[in-house]
């Protein structure tokens, strides 16, 4: 027995009995391209959701870090939201009561806007409670869309997030 595929002789030419025809390959490519085109809107929506979730995560992380800074140093610490430079900055005071910044710049992504914040600053006392013991609500919105996420800081210093 030969280890090579068997070929039939048909009208003086050899013909292979293996492989796909060009038509079969084109049909598979057409089906795959239709599936891909149908998936594009869902992928775009998922990308938008990822961007708003990412920005919300940055803010919650910065709020948590601010709260822990206040507890660690046993003095007030505050998170400033600089909308002009699109930065989140954590501040506290030193022994002489002079303000000092404690973190590197955390940048808000360019496609996300802070649309509502009662104060542009959230302050925590040495117990990790929100000062002046009132609820703070901040909202991020993805530009050119209606995707919005709200971050609420309670009077006791807990954070919750929800879609608007």
Strands (E), 48-133: 77-82, 87-93, 99-101, 106-107, 112-117, 121-124, 130-131
Report the DSSP beta bridge partners of residue 163: 149
Q: Is 91 or 111 the better-scoring residue by pLDDT?
A: 91
Report the DSSP beta bridge partners of residue 82: 87
pLDDT of res. 8: 54
**Is the separation of the CB atoms in 153 and 133 below 8 Å?**
no
Residue 155 neighbours by CB distance under 10 Å: 13
- Domain residue ranges in the chain: 22-163
DSSP 38-64: HHHHHHHHHHHHHHHHHHHHHHHHHHH
Dist. CA 100–CA 128, nearest whole Å: 18
CATH, domain 22-163, list 3.55.40.10, 3.40.190.10, 3.60.15.10, 3.40.50.2300: 3.55.40.10
Q: Averaged over 33-37, what is the pLDDT?
A: 93
| Confidence band of 36 (pLDDT split at 50, 70, 90) | very high
pTM of the model: 0.74
């Amino acid at each position: 027995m030969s280890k090579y595929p068997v070929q039939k002789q048909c009208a003086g030419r050899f013909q292979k009995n293996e492989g796909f025809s060009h038509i079969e390959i084109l049909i598979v490519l057409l089906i795959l391209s239709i599936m891909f085109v149908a998936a594009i809107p869902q992928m775009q929506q998922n990308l938008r959701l990822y961007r708003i979730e990412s920005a919300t995560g940055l803010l919650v992380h910065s709020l948590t870090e601010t709260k822990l800074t206040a507890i660690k140093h046993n003095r007030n610490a505050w998170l400033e939201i600089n909308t002009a430079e699109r930065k989140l900055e954590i501040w506290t005071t030193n022994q002489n009561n002079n303000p000092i910044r404690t973190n590197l710049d955390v940048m808000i992504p360019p496609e996300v806007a802070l649309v509502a914040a009662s104060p542009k600053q959230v302050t925590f006392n040495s117990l990790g409670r929100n000062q002046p013991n009132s609820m703070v609500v901040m909202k991020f919105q993805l530009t050119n869309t209606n995707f919005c996420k709200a971050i609420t800081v309670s009077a006791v210093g807990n954070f919750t997030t929800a879609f608007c």
